[in-house]
Chains A and B, each alone.
Chain A
Amino acid sequence: MIVRILGEGQYRIAPEKLPDLNEIDREVEQAIAARDEAAFRDALGRLLAEVHEGGTPLADDVFVESDLVLPGPDAGLDDVAAMLDDEGLLPG
């Protein structure tokens, strides 16, 4: 499974990690819905840490589409909320 962190690049991650990611992702979503900046920052930090720890960065000459795209560590709550509304995150 390929995960992109915006501003960082892509990681290959074992599919077994998906349930963990989904669990933290749910917390991120809740924090956004509640407009809770502190909870958002904490959950996003853990989500990205999970990818950093469990994943291996893709080499520069591997060109594949990501299965998941995650915001970068300094993304604002509003920015992420806007991306979610927009659904198509990356311009073509």
Chain B
Amino acid sequence: MIFKSKANKAMDKMEDPRETLDYSYSKQLELLQKVRRGVADVATSRKRLELQLARLQQESDKLRNQAQQALGMGREDLAREALTRRSGLEQQIADLTAQHAALQAEEEKLTLAAQRLQARVEAFRTKKETIKATYTAAEAQTRVSEAVTGISEELGDVGMAVQRAEDKTAELQARAGAVDELLASGALEDVTGTAKDDITLELERLASTSDVELELAKMKAQIGAGPAAAGALEGGAAAAAAAPSAPAAIEPAEVVQAAPGAADPAAAEAAKPEGGQS
């Protein structure tokens, strides 16, 4: 199970081994940049995930409130619908929370890798200058290949850590994109409150219906007490308008109903002679 590391043979080609040191050092700086970018990328992904989680949580809380409101209005069906949607969201939240923890662990590891590499690269730079100052090109060979091999193993290790973090981040970004789409699709209401979902609309309709009922009940009470007693101009006018309009509404209906009734005997009479002939 114990692995043997692969030495980097690519650098042996250089004529002056001291050039190899500079080449290796430039590679180290490149990798250090890459690791730092990696840390920043992971942090960005993590923050995006945190924003999404907050939005999903808000949405979930809202659905729970809606369920309570609906239940208070005696609409168990609506409450059930809200809770069903909420359980779907809760599943998403649980998944994303687990991913968030994994990403955070990755970020910590990469941060440590960056610190370790930074210390190693700095030490290498000192070593490189010492070797260049102390040895001739011919003498430097062994020292150089030792140092370069030693650090390239480190680079390989850190390189793998960056790769792993990049893979995980890419995977998560695809996933985060899907959640963004879900949040935008209207399956979840935009938390800015510009769009209204169907449960909100239904609750508002219920609320306004009960407002109308309340207003009607008030008006009826006022009419019952008599227009004079109510005293309010508005109430009096409403009662006056309502009183004549009610019988008027019935009359046309009777007329319409009477019309087909009147036509029927005529049709029957018209049919009679025919029946008599046959």
Residues of A within 8 A of B (CB): 4, 6-7, 9, 21, 25-26, 28-29, 32, 59-66, 68-70, 74, 80, 83-84, 87-92
Contact = CB atoms under 8 A, between A and B. Distances in A.
B160 A91 contact: yes
B3 A92 contact: no
A68 B2 contact: yes
Contacts of A90: 3, 5-6, 153, 156-157, 160
Contacts of A92: 6-10, 152, 156
B149 interface: yes
Interface of B: 1-10, 105, 109, 112-113, 116, 119-120, 122-124, 126-127, 146-154, 156-157, 159-161
Contact of A61 (B1, B6, B126): B126
A84 B116 contact: no
Nearest to B120: A60
B251 to A, nearest CB: 85
Given A4-B157, A7-B113, A29-B1, A65 B123 contact: no
A68 B157 CA distance: 13
A54 B9 CA distance: 32
Given A90-B156, A91-B159, 6 more contacts: A7-B112, A61-B123, A69-B4, A90-B5, A90-B160, A92-B9
Q: Which of A25, A66, A87 has the most chain B CB atoms inside 10 A of its CB? A: A66
A31 B160 CA distance: 24
Nearest to A89: B3
Contacts of A9: 116, 154
Nearest to B161: A7
B3 A70 contact: yes
Given A63-B151, A91-B160, A25 B146 contact: no
Given A7-B157, A90-B6, A90-B157, A65 B150 contact: yes
B109 A7 contact: yes
